[in-house]
Structures are given as C-alpha cells and as structure tokens.
Chains A and B, each alone.
Chain A
Amino acid sequence: MKNTPYKSSSFATFLFLLFLNPFNTSAQTTIADEVNSIHGNFQIDAQYYNPDSLIGAPKVPEKMLSNAFGNINYQRGKFSAGLRYEAYNNVMQGFDPRYKGQGIVNRFVRYQDDLLDITIGHIYEQFGSGLIFRTYYEPGLLYDNALDGFRIISNPYKGITLKALTGRQRTFFSTGAGIVRGVDGEINVNELLDSAAASIKTKVILGGSFVSKYQADLDPNFNLPQNVGAYGGRLNIINEGFNFFAEYIHKENDPSADIRSVANGKTYYSYKTGEALFVSASYAMNGFSILLQGKRIDNFSFRSDRDASLQNLLINFLPATTKQHTYLMPAFNPYATQPKGEVGGMAEIQYKAKKGSLLGGKYGMDITLNISHANGLKQNGVNDSTTTMTLYRTKYTEFGTDLYSDFFIEINKKFSKKFKGTFLFARQFYNKNIVQFGSINAGYKNIHSNIGVIDLTYKYKSSSAIRFETQCLLTDNSDAKNLGSWVTGMLEWTPNSHFFLAILDQYNYGNAVSDLRLHYLYGSAGYTAGPHRISVSYGKQRAGIFCVGGVCRVVPASNGVAISITSSF
C-alpha cells in the first residue's frame, strides 16, 4: 500500500459506472452533445548515466533512470473525465527524489453546460493572471500543484462568470496538509450591457478574487494563524490595438518557512502581510507593437503548507517580467521570480520592416528590442519580536539591490527563398547569489555578460534543410566559481519532415581552471511521424538551469544515452 497514492477504489468504481453507461445521455441539442471523444498522450524519458567526475556528473547507482506519464481524457457530450498515471523508476537526475514509485496521480469527472460547469477530482484553474491562484501542470519541470477537490463555474447572467473551489493540493504522490478555498468573479461590462455597449469599441473586464487556506497550528512556541486569506481585484481595458491589464492582491499575515530567521537557537517567523501588483500595457498595430510590463512583489510566497519549500504546494503563480529566452546562451543565467520581494519591469518593441522597404529588402525583416530589469526590495529591519512580529518593512519608493537586467535585440531576416537567419545580441547582469541561491552569502560574484547568437537556415529542398547555429557568452574569465566564457556550435540536418540529426558542441574555453576548459559534445537524432516522436541523444550535458514560464529547475551535468518517446492520440 505504501506507494499507492489515492485510496480511490470508490472513485474508480464511479468512473467505471459512468463509462459503462455512455448511451444514457439526454436529448442531443447543442454542439457539445455531439462530442464523443477519447484522447490520450504519453511520454517516456529514460537515461543511462556514466559517471564523469571532470564535468561533475555523479555516479548513479541505478545506472538507468526513467520518467513516464500517460493521460487519458474522455468526453461524451456534456460529460468528461480523465486520468493521468505517472511512473518514476527512479526519477531522473535533476528532479526532486520525492517523486518515487508510480500511480494514478490525477483523475477527474466534469459536467458542463451553458449555465453550470462542475468538476470533482483534480482541478487546474487560474484566477486572473494567477497572482492569487493558479494550479497547473508542467511535465518538463515535474511541476503539478493540482487542487484535489471540487470546482463550480457558473455563468448566471450574460457577461458574468463566477467560480468557487476547494480542495487540497497535490504534492508528489500525496496531498498537502492545508485546505484551499477560493472564489472568483469576473464581469465583462460590454457583454453585460449588451445593446447599450455594442457600439462602444472599448471593452472593460473587471474581476475580483478571494482565496483562503487553512492549516492547523501545531507549533508549541508560536500562535500561528490557521486561516490565511488573500484578496484582490483586476481590471482589463481593451480598445482596438490598445490593451491595459492590472491586478493587485493583498495577503494577510502568513508566517511560513519562506521568511523566518533563527536567533539564539529560536526560530522567529515574520507576521508581515504580503502584496503583489502586476501591470501590463501594450499597443499593437500591423507591423509594430510595444509592450510594457511592471511588477512589484513583497512577501508573496503563498503555499497551502507553511513548512513547504522550493516549488512545492504553491497556491499562486508569480510571472517573471523579463524576456523569456529560447537560445541556450541567453538562457544560461535565467531570471526567476523572487517571491520574497522584487520590483521589476520590461519594455519590448517589435517592428516588421515591410517587403520592399529599405530595411526589409525583398522578403522583409523582423526586429525585436527588449529591455528588462529587476531589483530586490529595500528591507528596513524592524526589531519587534513582541507586538507586530514583523521582521522588516518596505516602501514603494525604495529599491533594493540589482537582481537582473537584460538588453536584448533580435533580427530575423530572410535573404532568399532558401536562406534565412536570426541574429541576436544581449547584454545581461545577473545577481547569482540571490536569483539562484536566495542568499547574499552564497559566495558568487555578480555576472556581467555579452551574448551573441547567429542562427542560419538553408532550405535546399522544399522539406529539407540544414541549420547552423553559433552562440557565445563572454564574461569574466578570472573567476573560477562562475565558469567564465562559452562558445557553442550546432549543426542540424532535416533531410525530410520525419527525421532530424543534430550535433552540438558547447565549449567552456574561458574557464579559469585550465583542466575544466572542456567540450560538451552532444549528438541527437529523432524521428517524427504525425503525433508520435522518438529521439535518442548521446553525449555530455553541462549543468544548468532549465526553465518553463519563469519556473526553473537545476539540471546536474550528465554523460550518457538518453531516449525520449512522446505520442498522442
């Protein structure tokens, strides 16, 4: 029984009975009634590990590790259900070892019509931009904070959407200690006013949320709040190409493992309240756009278990307002949101030089310019461990240390029908101590780097191409802890739409330690047939940080053979 995640035999029986009765649906009137579908997908990743002390790849006792998952979703008319099975034997390097064993980790049944939408089981939901509540699943990170409970969504009147939910969150093969409850309401003013607003081009959407968590207080020394609430509102105004969005959330005092200090052998919690503000404004017209985003976060780690850490049991999602890089070198030192405190923003301009113009030439040219910056908050220490129990205070007008900045320009240019290229330059500042280790005492120097990428594609037949990519990251080569400069080269061959072959070399030529000036050579090949894809790779991978959507995980160095199979039906 030890590894069986959910005592769900009654649930399975329920599903079974529902499945056995597919004819028993009511009169088929709306489009949704016609839907009768079963879909699924799966992914299997496995790697054989060779120890390599030079690059820091550890000895793996199992020699081979694998992650696998499969989803099945069924919909018949207004009814749908799904499940996901996951297996880790044992979990691959770079993931939390608490993912151990296998089992059904996600199952739900749902009924939805125009008025009501009810789900029981595992729920993925987002209120507003997610600052207050977001449960989602990202297999690449093994991130899954699904809420296991029930949710009701209702559209009682045109333009109005109400949501209510409650449950406990998934953590590994179990559920968290705390209960989460939440309500959210959204009003689309134009739809509400209907005819009166039909002629108005400006669209206004208002929303408000309240989320609360409950966790028993078992601490012998502290009177910890058992119920912690958070609430806030959002506003979205859209007028043709103009789009403005703002959301503000306030969180009641929430002493947790995220911010606490230890003095004289005793742990002191911070009873400070938290807040988060996210603002995004954009203007877009054909061939030109500008986007401005700003964010301020203070003490806003919001978890359903006050003792949880890392990426576990987070109730909300704090988007990073920096450029999300796709190439290896610009993403070498990635920024991750600092829930304890951060203020930052970015501006991005995109321009498409038209075909036939001076810049555009025969085929046009795309230019992207992005500037982003993030600062910590200045914490003014409060020496009050008796009445307010607050460890620090902050002000909107005061900024703390620089955490990250990025100047980025990318040009996409097509030279001829067969030949096109991407050229990128970035200049970055990275406060490794705080962004990566959350502490000013981690012992790293700040990293200043200049980054360049050239990516050229030559399409020699209608579905055959050769792609060559070279990148460099230039930085201080005298600092042994920070690895120094890199240069990479990649050659990729796609002879047809099914097959690819690629070879990548990442060369750490600027390492301060001459023995560590290594080549990380990595070859991969893959075959795609419709929704099925298999790839095999062999070689050395450097240690690094892998991010999706501003959530990152540290990947250790490895040397070996990896295989990945993904399929959907």
Chain B
Amino acid sequence: MKKIILSTVAFALMTLSAFAGDGDKIPTATLKKLDGSKVSSTTFTNNGKPIIVSFWATWCKPCKKELDAIAENYTDWQKETGVKLIAISIDDARSSGKVVTDVKSKGWEYEVYIDENQDFKRAMNVNNVPHTFIIDGSGKIVWSHNSYSEGDETKLYENVKKVMSGEKLTH
C-alpha cells in the first residue's frame, strides 16, 4: 500500500510541476502585526518594487547580525531601488514579547510581522533561520538564501538591483 501512496504522490507532483514553475507567488498565511492585528501574506506589496522577506528570531544571532548589517545601509538601498524589507519573526510565545523590544531598541525600520505558530515558515518551507527571499515587483519569489555570513548583505543587494533591471540571478 505504501507503494500506491508514494507513486500517487510522485505522479501528483509531476502533474503539479507542469503548472507551477519558477517564480511562484508567496503562499497564503496569516501573520500578526506588532499592534496585535492580523494580516495575510497575500497583502505584501511594494508598488511594483522588489521586497526582501527575511525570516529571523530574537534568539538567532546570525539573523540579527544580518538585519543589523542591512539596517546600516537600508536608507541608501531604499533611496536607490525603493526595495522594502519585511522581517518575519518565528519567535514563539516565550520570546514573541521580545520582538517589539528588539526591533525598537535596535532601531530597525523594517516592516515586522510575527509568525507565532510558524504557519508562514512552513508554507515557505524554511528549514532554519536566517532564510532570506527576494520577491520581484510582480510578487514572485525569485531568489532565496539560507544562513548568513559576513558580507552576504552585499550579495543580497546586488541581486535586488538585478531584479530591478530584469537580469538573471545567481546564487
């Protein structure tokens, strides 16, 4: 019987992949704003400009390093390309109270949402944080990167500029 299930799955996937190619849209999930209200991931928009979606957590050191590094250049990036960064915190109840305090005390000017039970994380198939995506002007996911090492933000921004000019992206 296991064979039946697996072959069914395999066939279903092959069928599916014919319809869903590169550059899928963001899947639907409900997130929490810092003011407690709810928002759907389908409302993410930046007037036709690219969006960076970054999954992070208050207890994740490399995540905060990445967001700090971007914060230093964020004003310039916004001026040059109009890019917007949406930071998705995957903190649970233990630390979700810390999201607001971290964001404010760090002075980050990002759009921040809390994915408290990790619905969006699962929908985006994020294994571990940090995981960063670039969404192009039409709302398609065009690039993603797992983990952070020093200087990755430079590469990220190069890719944002490529998205703006319609060039092909590299990992």
Q: Which residues of A approach B to under 8 Å, CB–CB?
A: 1, 4, 7-9, 12-13, 15-16, 19-20, 22, 30-32, 34-41, 43, 71-76, 80, 82-83, 103-104, 112, 124-126, 128-131, 134, 136-137, 139-140, 161, 188, 190-191, 203, 205, 236, 238, 241, 243, 245, 278, 280, 282, 284-291, 293, 317, 319-321, 324-327, 348, 350-352, 366, 457, 459, 461-465, 467, 494, 497, 500, 528-533, 549-550, 566, 568-569
Contact = CB atoms under 8 A, between A and B. Distances in A.
Interface stretch (B46-54, B79-87, B119-127, B160-168): B119-127
Given A4-B1, A278-B93, A531-B144, A43 B127 contact: yes
Size category of the B interface is 35 or more
A17 B128 CA distance: 33
A35 B171 CA distance: 24
Nearest to A466: B150
A161 B12 contact: no
B110 interface: no
Interface string B88-105: 000011111110111111
Contacts of B20: 36-38, 74, 76
Nearest to A321: B94
Main SS of chain A's interface residues? strand
Contacts of B101: 282, 284, 289-291, 348, 350
Given A43-B127, A284-B105, A104 B151 contact: no
Given A16-B8, A31-B42, A124-B122, A532 B146 contact: yes
A238 B35 contact: yes
29 contacts: A31-B43, A35-B27, A36-B19, A38-B13, A39-B123, A39-B125, A40-B125, A71-B122, A71-B125, A73-B123, A76-B20, A134-B93, A134-B117, A139-B127, A282-B101, A288-B105, A289-B104, A290-B101, A293-B97, A317-B92, A352-B106, A459-B150, A462-B151, A463-B155, A494-B151, A497-B155, A529-B171, A549-B92, A568-B146
Interface string B68-88: 000000000000000000000
Q: Which of A37, A134, A136, A465 has the most CB of B within 10 A?
A: A37
Given A287-B107, A327-B61, A500-B149, 13 more contacts: A16-B11, A38-B24, A41-B127, A80-B27, A130-B117, A241-B100, A284-B104, A352-B107, A463-B150, A497-B155, A528-B146, A528-B149, A532-B146
Contacts of B107: 286-287, 352
A203 B35 contact: yes
Interface of B: 1-2, 4-5, 8-9, 11-13, 15-17, 19-20, 24-28, 34-38, 40, 42-43, 58-61, 92-98, 100-107, 116-119, 122-128, 131, 139, 141, 143-147, 149-152, 154-155, 171
Nearest to B97: A280
Contact of A126 (B35, B117, B152): B117
Nearest to A81: B12
A569 B143 CA distance: 10
Contacts of A317: 92-93
A116 to B, nearest CB: 13
Contacts of A203: 35-37
Contacts of B126: 41, 568
Given A39-B125, A136-B117, A530-B171, A12 B8 contact: yes
B105 to A, nearest CB: 4
Nearest to B18: A22
A324 B144 contact: no
Contacts of A9: 1, 4-5
Contact of A463 (B19, B122, B143, B151): B151
Q: Which of B8, B28, B119 has the most CB of A within 10 A?
A: B28
Q: Which 6 A-B pairs have the closest CB atoms?
A: A463-B151, A319-B94, A37-B24, A530-B171, A284-B104, A465-B150
Contacts of B12: 15-16, 19-20
Contacts of A131: 93
B4 A12 contact: yes
Nearest to B156: A497
A287 to B, nearest CB: 6
B105 A350 contact: yes
A139 B17 CA distance: 26
A71 B144 CA distance: 17
B123 A291 contact: no
A16 B13 CA distance: 9
Given A22-B19, A124-B118, A36 B24 contact: yes
Contact of B151 (A43, A321, A465, A531): A465
B95 A324 contact: yes
A326 B59 contact: yes
A15 to B, nearest CB: 6
A205 B105 contact: no
